[in-house]
Amino acid sequence: MPTLPRLTLLLAFSMAALAANAQRFEWIATITPPQTTGFQNIYLPPEVTSRLNHNYADIRLFDQDGKEVPYLQRIDRRAEMGDESLEMAIDENKHQRRKGHTRLRLANPQKKELDNIFLLIEPTDHEVWIKMSGSQDGKNWFILKESSPYFPELDDDGLMRLSLLDFPKNDYPFVELLLYDYNNKPVVVEKALNYELGPTRYNYSEIKPLDFTQNDTIEEGYSLITIKFDQEHYIDRISFQFEGPVFYMRRAELSKLDTLSEKKMKVEFFDQAKRQFYVSSNGGNILYLSDYKAQTFYLRVKNDDSPPLRMVSANAYQLNKYLTAYLEAGKRYELRFGNERLSPPLYDLKYFRDSIPDTIPTVHIHGLPSPAQAEQEAKMLEVPTALLWSMVGLVTLLLAFLSVRMFREIIP
């Protein structure tokens, strides 16, 4: 049995190790010093985003003194909201306390193409984490969007509005939203709306390098094209160019190796549904996705009895994404990222999102991300003073408890 000093030492080192591990990052990227002071967008190139979790929870901004700088996440997208809205039918709106979420199942019987959902909820003062899935039959579910934070805004009638705009366009007749509790408090949904959106402007960055190979299987009537990046990337748009007959119209399917991520109560969830579409001599042959993360994926083109098309090029793009933060001119800043255990940061800045202008300067990272150096990792292992005193307090309480117990054993 460990002695008392060993127990206390073990406790102290365990707590220090946990605290250090929570703040360790795998990658560092240096930001070009800003020319002006004020709010600025820090552009996140594909070389950075490819190393982040789906919800971008594992990235932090630090200044030259090692102090954490609050930020907001932004996407380079502008959409015009129409006046017409359709209230979506809610098949299920049930809070599951043991699972810590509210399950909201929406019906889309007309199989209308959905690219937005707005939820009216009872007032809350924190972000809401939502996971979205779709199904053709209400039994087999495909994940459309991994658990991600959404920030409520004030709406009419004393309610708040959650705007869901960043999921793959789809026509699933069944849509499921899991809204996770915060401090054991459920999210209460009153309505779900779908709007007619006006023109939307997107700005993208191309993802390079991209290689592909094609295998035509005449006997089975299809072509299989393998597309590969140098590493995993989030893909929001991909386009294809083909050579072949003057006129063609072929069914195509984009897929990657499905990963069975959940299987509960005979219901299966896959990481993302396969995307079916047509390639045509009359169309742009462009497919829009949403945070579709892959390194290798497959394009299957159905030829039937026609001669195979030959793909001559493919281009993949990612929506421009930024961290918006208040930066000081001439000061050095760096991004630290890559830690699956981190939760998204909670900054006061989220309450002032509407106070930041849409048009602000943009700064970029200098060079490419680099692995964390030994001395930088050592910095992460330093235990903050507040945490150190908390550890001392816990050790003191443990010593007192064990001392009382030993005293009682010695003196009956």
pLDDT at 195: 85
- pLDDT level of residue 124 (50, 70, 90 thresholds): confident
CATH number at residue 145: 2.60.120
Q: What percent of the chain has pLDDT over 70?
A: 77
Would you say residue 211 lies in a domain?
yes
Are residues 18 and 30 located together in one domain of the fold? no
User: 32 pLDDT exceeds 60?
Assistant: yes
Residues 67 and 90 occupy one common structural domain: no
- Asked whether residue 342 falls in the same domain as residue 397, the answer is no
Taking 80 as the threshold, does the pLDDT of residue 134 lie above it? yes
* Beta carbons within 8 Å of 75's beta carbon, 6+ residues apart: 166, 319, 320, 321, 322
Judge if 122 and 193 occupy the same domain.
yes
Q: Which domain holds residue 412?
A: 1-22+381-412
Assign 3-state DSSP to the chain and report helix, strand, coil percentages, each to 5. 15, 50, 35
pLDDT digits (tens, 9 = 90+) for 290-329: 768 888 989 999 998 899 999 999 999 998 899 999 999 9
Q: Indicate if 390 and 404 belong to the same structural domain.
A: yes
Which whole-number Å values give the CA distances from 67 to 19, 302, 374, in the listed order?
Answer: 17, 55, 19
Domain membership of residue 345 (yes or no) is: yes
350 or 254: which leads in pLDDT: 254
129 shares a domain with 84: yes
How many residues would you count in the chain? Answer: 412
156: DSSP letter: G
Please tell me the predicted confidence (pLDDT) of residue 42: 95
144 and 107 in a common domain: yes
Q: What are the DSSP calls for 271-325, one per residue?
A: SS--EEEEEETTS--EEEEEEEEEEEEEEEEE-TTSPPPEEEEEEEEEE-EEEEE
The per-residue pLDDT for 82 is 59
- From 160, 179, 201, give the residue that closes a domain: 201
pLDDT at 373 over 70: no
User: How far apart are alpha carbons 292 and 318 in whole angstroms?
Assistant: 10
pLDDT classification of 410: cutoffs 50, 70, 90: low
pLDDT at 398 over 90: no
User: What distance in Å separates the CA atoms of residue 342 and residue 337, rounded to the nearest whole number?
Assistant: 10
DSSP 392: H
Does position 380 have pLDDT exceeding 50, yes or no?
no
266 domain residue, yes or no: no
Q: For 234-284, how does the pLDDT look when each residue is reduced to its tens digit (9 = 90+)?
A: 888 899 999 989 899 998 988 886 544 444 444 444 455 577 888 988 877
Domain termination residue (choose one: 158, 175, 201): 201
Same domain, 177 and 211: no
| pLDDT (tens digit per residue) in 169-215 | 889 999 999 999 988 899 999 999 998 776 666 788 899 899 999 99
How many structural domains compose the chain? 4
